[in-house]
Amino acid sequence: MIEKFLHDAADANLCERMGLDAAQQARHKAFIGLTEADLDLLVELAPVIERHADAVVDGFYANIHHYPELEQLISGVGSNWERLKRTQRAYLLELFKGDLGPEYFERRLRVGVIHHKIGLTPRWYLGSYSVYMQLLAPIIFRHWRWQSGRALQAVMALDKMLSLDAQLAIDTYIHSLTTELNVVSLSKEELEQRLAAYNDLIDRVAQGDLTGRVAVTGNDDLARLGGNLNKMTDRLAEMTSEVAESSNAMLVSVEQVRAAIGAQSSGATQQAASVNETTATLEQIKATSMQTLEKATALKEVADRARAEGDQGLATVEAAVQAMRHTRGQVEAIAGHIGVLNERLQQIGDITTAVGELASQSKMLALNASIEAAKAGDAGRGFAVVAEEVRDMAEQSRQATTQVQGILAEIRNAAARAVRAVEEGNEGADRGANLADRAGETLHGLNRVIHDTALASQQIVAAVRQEAAGIDQIRIAMGDISQVTSQFVAATHQTEAATNQLTDYAALLQNMVKLFHVGGARFDFDRARTLHRTWVVRLEAFLAGHETLSEAEAISHHHCQLGRWYDGEGLQRYGHIPEMLALDTPHRELHELIHDVVRQQNSGHHPNAEQVMGRVRALSARIVELLDSIEMKSRAVETNRGRA
């Protein structure tokens, strides 16, 4: 039975045993679209993944610990968690080596054999590939966060690798089950019936119909095979539904991102223009600052010259004050000498007065002597002559004394005038000294002002130089900001292109999902609500000038997702719900108003567009309320149908 296949597979070439030659391997890769460019992208990511390998493996096994039955199944293998982690780490790194030769296919097939050997069904290991994707995708997007398109290509390449591994694991699983069928002990008729049912299920799955299941009876290997086929189909249906929901969510997110990018791109463009204007203004400010620096430098030179001349003038005034003080001292000395001279003149006057008095007395004595000599006759004649001579000499002495006194009086008058002149000169010298002192104080104050002015001019020059240097630094910084803004604008354009590509990928996923029919598919009310809210956001950005819209983009209510569903399956399934019938009118009016808003804004009638926008908001809120009610009642209808 299956144990024999597993035993033989341990030593056999599984690719050869399962008919997986080089041509089949190439078809496997071609079917999922795995190219050399995809492999090169993964190889480029290898160093990044190796740095995060331990964390990814830890996250992988942390997820396993949430499922006791899976944890018990792995623990029963007889290995330990550390060795399993090392094995998973080696497998993780192998995904990014870019080597998809025959040895890779052989190793993947053996992994499938091991899974089957330990009883690990596709239910678990197919989900494990999704866990790996959830752990690795954020790392890739963080690594290429500025190259979203490249990151998306890498994620798609990784998804193709994981899909290839899943194909090989399923091939091994199905091959082992087929081997088990070949050795199971059943009647030919029963075996043919079961195989026919299994083949029918497999054919339906291959054609995209995931609604079928096989009837499982008994507890033999073939029954377990049927159960596993049912589980596999259930899991495929779940995965298809998940992919459908994910693609819808991706479209919603892309619409939101696109609206945000439009606003960011417009804002970045305006910011770039503002930066350019600011840079031009800074250039003008810099030119003005340089002119100010030249004038401030000239002012500093004038202030320096004024300071030097002020210092020289102050020194001259101080020398003049000293000279006037010296002159005053000399004048005071002259005044003192003149005072001494007056005293000597006074003494001489006193002497001449005494001499004059003596001369007068001598004259009187000579007169008396002459009289006495006359009385004596001839005997006194000689004495009379002498007396006469004495009288003449006394007269001459008196006259000389009178002249001397007159001269002394003139000298005293001249000395008095000299004293007065000295006193007046002294007073003038005092006034001049006082004026010189005040002039010195004024010059001191002026010199301080000149020094302060010179210091201020130096500070002005230094400040203007610092201002010029600061403006130059700001200009350089604005240049850097301009460069970063330009890069941001380019990045927004790249991101916008990436969102368009994401939209294409999401549409491709939806088209792929449509190949499968899982039954009970429901309308995505969340996406419909989000898309209508997104339209409101886009219109508000459009009215704010952050995004452009054309009338062609404002599609009618029949062509949007909600309208297509409403006109088709929606009315057929839920036409009995009153809110469903009430939805048509506001939905039609909403799209008409959206078209009107775009037309009014593009025609330059912004106030009219804003007025219509208020009605758009109200109708959008009304539509969301109706969708909430329809969804709630549709769920009740589905639940009742399921019970029936």
Please tell me which of 366-370, 519-523, 627-631 the model is most confident about, judged by mean pLDDT.
627-631
- 3 state SS of 218: coil
CATH of residue 564's domain is 1.20.120
Decide which of 13 and 495 is more confident: 13
Predicted local confidence at residue 415, as pLDDT: 67
Within-domain flag for 501: no
Q: Which CATH number fits the domain that encloses residue 8? A: 1.10.490.10
Is 269 part of any domain? no
* 527-539: burial string, b at 16+ Cβ within 10 Å, e else: bbbbbbbbbbbbb
**CA-based nearest residue to 501, from 310, 194, 250, 330:** 250
Distance from C-alpha of 438 to C-alpha of 432, rounded to nearest angstrom? 10
Locate 383 and state its tokens: 């004495």
Q: Is 226 within a domain?
A: yes
Full residue range of the structural domain in which residue 539 is found:
522-644
Segment 281-308 mean pLDDT: 71
Residue 15 scores a pLDDT above 80: yes
Map residue 221 onto helix, strand or coil.
Answer: helix
Say whether both 370 and 328 belong to one domain. yes
Indicate whether this model's pTM tops 0.75.
Answer: no
Residues 308, 391 within the same domain: yes
Q: Report if residue 514 sits inside a domain.
A: no
Distance CA 583, CA 622 (A): 9
Domain end point (choices 446, 479, 495):
495
Q: Cβ contacts of residue 476 below 8 Å, gap of 6+?
A: none
Nearest-angstrom CA–CA distance, 132 and 166: 12
Confidence label for 9 from pLDDT (cuts 50, 70 and 90): very low
pLDDT per residue over 318-328, tens digit each? 776 676 677 66
Cα separation values, 330 from 327, 337, 486, 625, Å:
5, 10, 88, 116
Q: Which residues is 517 bridged to in the sheet?
A: 209
Specify whether 535 is located in the same domain as 416: no
**Quick one: 329 and 424 in the same domain?**
yes
The dihedrals phi and psi of 517, each to the nearest 5 degrees, come to -115, 110
Give pLDDT, residue 50.
92
> Taking a C-beta distance cutoff of 8 angstroms, is the pair 94, 104 a contact?
yes
Q: In terms of Cα–Cα distance, which of 612, 584, 587 is closest to 598?
A: 612
pLDDT, residue 643, reads: 46
Q: What is the CATH number of the domain that holds 318?
A: 1.10.287.950
Residue 339 lies in a domain: yes
What number of other Cβ atoms are within 10 A of residue 391's Cβ?
20
- Rounded to the nearest angstrom, the gap between the alpha carbon of residue 176 and the centroid of all alpha carbons in its chain is 60
Residue 204's CATH number: 1.10.8
CA distance linking residue 365 with residue 371, whole number of Å: 10
Give residues with Cβ within 8 angstroms of 325, minimum separation 6: 433
Q: Give me the DSSP letters along 35-88.
A: -HHHHHHHHHHHHHHHHHHHHHHHHHHHHHTT-HHHHHHHHTTS--HHHHHHHH
- Look at residue 2 in the predicted model and tell me its pLDDT: 37
CA nearest to 395, candidates 372, 367, 369: 367
Whether residues 236 and 124 share a domain: the answer is: no
202 shares its domain with 106: no
Domain count of the fold of the chain: 4
Greatest Cα pair distance, the chain, in angstroms, is 226
**Three-class HEC string of 93-144:** HHCCCCCCCHHHHHHHHHHHHHHHHCCCCHHHHHHHHHHHHHHHHHHHHHHC
Residue 52 in this model has a pLDDT that exceeds 90: yes
Shared domain check, 204 and 179 = no
Do 122 and 66 lie in one domain? The reply is: yes
- Spatial distance between the Cα atoms of 23 and 30, rounded to a whole number of angstroms: 10
Domain boundary among the residues 130, 148, 183 is at: 183
Which tokens go with 457?
A: 């001019």
- Position 601 pLDDT exceeds 80: yes
110 vs 15: CA distance, rounded Å: 10
Name the residue with tokens 């890498």: 154
Taking the C-alpha atoms of residue 76 and residue 70, their distance in angstroms, rounded to an integer, is 10
pLDDT band at 139 (very low <50, low <70, confident <90, very high): very high
- Pick the range with the lowest mean pLDDT from 136-140, 162-166, 206-210, 578-582: 206-210
Q: Alpha-carbon distance 157 to 171, whole Å?
A: 21
Query: Could you identify the residue written with the tokens 């087929």?
Result: 178
Cα torsion 287, 288, 289, 290 to 10°: value is 50
pLDDT of 337 > 50? The answer is yes
Task: Judge whether 225 lies within some domain.
Answer: yes
Q: Which of 550, 523, 536 is nearest to 619 (CA)?
A: 536
Q: Return phi, psi of residue 66, to 5°.
A: -80, -10
* Domain-ending residue, one of 162, 183, 204: 183
What's the confidence (pLDDT) of residue 603?
A: 92
Q: Which long-range contacts (CB under 8 A, 24 or more apart) does 170-175 make?
A: 170/112, 170/122, 170/126, 170/232, 171/18, 171/20, 171/109, 171/112, 172/14, 172/18, 172/109, 172/111, 172/112, 172/113, 172/115, 172/116, 173/112, 173/115, 173/116, 173/121, 173/122, 173/228, 175/18
Statement: residue 76 has pLDDT above 60: yes
Q: What is the pLDDT of residue 589?
A: 92
* 509 is a domain residue: no
- Domain assignment present for 253: no
d(CA 491, CA 485): 9
Summarize pLDDT for 381-427 with one digit per residue, the tens.
776 777 777 777 777 777 777 887 788 777 777 767 766 766 676 67
64 and 141, same structural domain?
yes
DSSP code at position 209: B
Question: Does position 5 have pLDDT exceeding 50, yes or no?
Answer: no
Long-range contacts from 397-405, C-beta under 8 angstroms, 24+ separation: 397/355, 397/356, 397/358, 397/359, 397/362, 398/356, 398/359, 398/360, 398/363, 401/352, 401/353, 401/355, 401/356, 401/359, 402/356, 404/348, 404/352, 405/349, 405/352, 405/353, 405/356
> What SS3 state is found at 162?
helix
The SS3 call for residue 517 is strand
Judgement on whether residues 355 and 477 belong to the same structural domain of the protein? yes
Residues 238 and 373 reside in one and the same domain: no
Residues 148 and 207 placed together within one structural domain of the fold: no
Q: Which residue has the tokens 């969102």?
A: 499
